[in-house]
Amino acid sequence: MTFCVTFYGALDENGNRAPVEARCHLMTTKQYQRYEQAYSNAHSSYGWWDDIDDLLADRAPELRRYDPMGWTTYRDVHAYEAVNEVSFSLSLDKAEVSRSLFSGEEWEDFYLVIDAWDNGHGGDATTPNSALYADVAAVATPRSFVMPPASVALVLIVLLGGMVAVPAVIQHRYSNAGLSEVES
């Protein structure tokens, strides 16, 4: 699946759409639920969220995943901050299913989130002073060949077997080289 998203602002005095920067995120169900909670906390009348958000704003992006108050995007790469337009492709090798001892098996849906609020991530665009419009196109691409996950383990086993077998064969030939009888 290929997604193409272009952002526009309100009409300017010439009747043209003004370019505006916004954010686009691809999320699974659980990630979207955390995003909804962050949005609710940021827009509620309680002031405690701003203090925690400011405290955690300087963390490195790779550490945000372990933040109990924050949210991340699918595979950490489908987060596009402060862009006018974005195009990205997604290829799934299997269905997104999460398993838990307590809740069993849960299927994950995907959400394409377009936002223009200060979501707490560093480097995001400022909130525009106009309406935000987005042209979204989702194009289904033909399924490409995907190797099964067991192929990685098979290749590693063959490489490790070769690392053991090649020295053994060389040693065997070397040790047998002086055992042949020579006629004089």
Query: Mean pLDDT by 10-residue block, N- to C-terminus, for the chain (184 residues)?
Result: 89 83 87 85 68 65 62 71 86 77 86 81 67 90 77 94 94 82 68
171 is a domain residue: no
pLDDT of residue 157: 96
184 is a domain residue: no
pLDDT of residue 74: 75
Number of domains forming the structure of the chain? 1
Bridge-based pairing of strands 97-100 and 104-107 is antiparallel
Q: Tell me which residue of 95, 65, 91 sits closest to 79, measured CA to CA.
A: 65
pLDDT of residue 125: 61
Range of the domain at 72: 2-139
pLDDT of residue 4: 93
182 is a domain residue: no
Instruction: Report the predicted TM-score, pTM, of the whole model to 2 decimal places.
Output: 0.65
Report yes or no: 55 and 123 within 8 Å, Cβ to Cβ.
Answer: no
84 is a domain residue: yes
Neighbours of 26 (CB within 10 A): 21
pLDDT of residue 67: 58
For the packed helices 48-56 and 29-42, what is the interaxial angle rounded to 10 degrees?
120
